[in-house]
Chain A
Amino acid sequence: MSLELYLDLFSQPCRSVYIFAKKNNIPFEFKNISLLTGEHYEEEFGKISMIRKVPAMRDGDFCLTESIAIMLYMVQKFKTLDFWYPADLQQRARVDEYLSWQHMAIRMHGSKMFWLRLLIPKVMGVEVPQEKLDAALEDLNGSLKLIEEKFLQDRPFIAGDHMSLADLVAIVEIIQPVGAGLDVFEGRPKLSAWRDRVETAVGKELFDDAHQAILGAQESVKMMDPSKMQLFRPRILKLFM
């Protein structure tokens, strides 16, 4: 019985898990959970993920949430190539360092930008004050600067010469605000060059496949039904506004 991966490709951590599994030819059953229509509140999904978060994984009786935990589990179980999560302690530590830092930095700032620029005004119909957008942009710029100056520096990838989980987790978060129409790569040649290297390493076809939904978000929001978001609307507004 193969792995089940519960994913919504609008979600950044779902994309990293998807790309990782596909790239490593890990057999899995794709179980689509559409967050924007509240599918994560369905009863069955609650049995896989108590807190109703994606991505979630089921491997036989073993259920797991948190994209990083899921990918590290797959690394071990499927013995993926070393560069994803190097055996060398110091290189591994560099990957762990990025994976730890990013939660409350780029992940938070990229997500916020996506909600404030797109979903909240265009689907929820709530006007977002300019100061909030400006503050969110400042935070996002701060994170992007740290990625360039501390995590990349003059290396081709975060951990050195090869792509790792760190770059995968980074790229999916950085693309999120792009989905809201913000070109974060403009004026950032170092970041752009790194992005191209990551895309090449992943493979353009897989990269584009994983990012199709998010990059089409500005179009697809026109057809989204705000009433489906009622369950989490208050939480979202409280979190981001």
Chain B
Amino acid sequence: MATRRVVQVYLDLLSQPCRAVHILLNCNKIPHTVRTVALRKGENRTPEFTKLNPMNRVPVMEDNGFVLTESDAILKYLAAKYDVPEHWYPRQPEKRARVDEYTAWHHNNTRPHAAKVFILEVLVPAQTGSPVDEGRLIRALSQLDDTLDKLESMFLRRQPFLCGDDITVADLLAVCEVMQPMGGDRDILKERPQLQRWRSRVQSAVSESFDQAHAVLYALRDRRKAKL
């Protein structure tokens, strides 16, 4: 009988959804191997990776031949398969619905709006050598501001975490997006104490796996700061 391999994940830790998957795996001590895919080096466009994922995106999970893309799907699969503590993706219908509501809303809101700030401030200038497009950045920050307002007033409200009293996969997805502009040394939660406190609670809940996942992002920030 062939030995079952541990689950394999293809990640670039500069990618927000990759970090969410990384944190879930590590703080639940789920046995896994990480294969690094450096997007900036085009490692997602190799024939080998394209065969694995024709959309050339990360994260990708491979479980003994079963290949899965999309961080939402991967997080939910891992939570179910490895029987992690229930709070990550609660079973009770109303509680689960709150997590599903957030993970759906996230795609069109937190994810693109936080990513855009990072893309405009860090990625585009790095790739093109041109200065930051200030006009577009201001508009992106304004849009992000609206989204953070909603994150606070619609989801967090007076709760400890986005979907209730305990941390869920929703918090992982959100926190990783909110951290991304840190790569350009921008803390988008600077003027938002409520969300800052939420972020701290998330960090505490996942302990060292937070900084482990974000090490590459911090290094990027530090390199950029050193250049200034």
Contacts and interface: CB of A to CB of B under 8 A. Distances in A.
B223 to A, nearest CB: 30
A110 to B, nearest CB: 14
Given A76-B93, A90-B66, A149-B54, A66 B72 contact: no
B205 interface: no
Interface in A149-165: 149-150
B179 to A, nearest CB: 20
Interface in A57-98: 62, 64-70, 72-73, 76-77, 89-90, 92-94, 96-97
Given A62-B94, A150-B54, A73 B100 contact: yes
B18 to A, nearest CB: 14
Contact of B100 (A72, A77, A92): A72
Contacts, number: 81
B69 A101 contact: yes
Interface string B82-113: 00000000000110111011011101100110
Given A62-B94, A96-B70, A149-B54, A50 B153 contact: yes
B150 A76 contact: no
Contact of A69 (B70, B80, B101, B108): B101
A51 B147 CA distance: 11
B69 A104 contact: no
Interface residues of A, number: 30
Interface string B51-63: 0001100000000
Given A89-B80, A93-B76, A68 B104 contact: yes
B150 A104 contact: no
B77 A93 contact: yes
Contacts of A188: none
Nearest to B74: A93
Interface in A30-76: 50-51, 62, 64-70, 72-73, 76
A70 B107 CA distance: 16
Contacts of B104: 66-69, 99, 103
Contacts of A192: none
A100 B73 contact: yes
B55 A146 contact: yes
A69 B100 contact: yes
B71 interface: yes
Interface residues of B, number: 31
Give the interface SS of chain A, mostly helix, strand, loop or mixed: helix
B81 interface: yes
A92 B79 CA distance: 13
A173 B112 CA distance: 20
Contacts of A73: 93-94, 96-97, 100
B73 A96 contact: yes
Contacts of A51: 150, 154
B206 interface: no
A77 B55 contact: no
Contacts of B96: 72-73, 76
A44 to B, nearest CB: 18
Interface string B39-57: 0000000000000001100
Contacts of A76: 93, 96
A152 B112 CA distance: 27
A100 B72 contact: yes
B55 A66 contact: no
Contact of A104 (B100, B107, B153): B107
B16 to A, nearest CB: 14
B161 to A, nearest CB: 17
18 contacts: A51-B150, A51-B154, A62-B94, A67-B104, A68-B100, A69-B98, A69-B101, A72-B100, A73-B94, A89-B81, A90-B77, A92-B77, A93-B68, A97-B68, A99-B72, A100-B72, A103-B107, A150-B54
Given A65-B101, A66-B104, A149-B54, 10 more contacts: A69-B97, A72-B100, A76-B93, A93-B68, A99-B104, A103-B104, A104-B107, A104-B112, A150-B54, A150-B55
Which 8 A-B residue pairings sit nearest by Cβ, starting from the closest? A96-B73, A69-B100, A103-B107, A100-B70, A100-B72, A66-B104, A69-B101, A97-B73
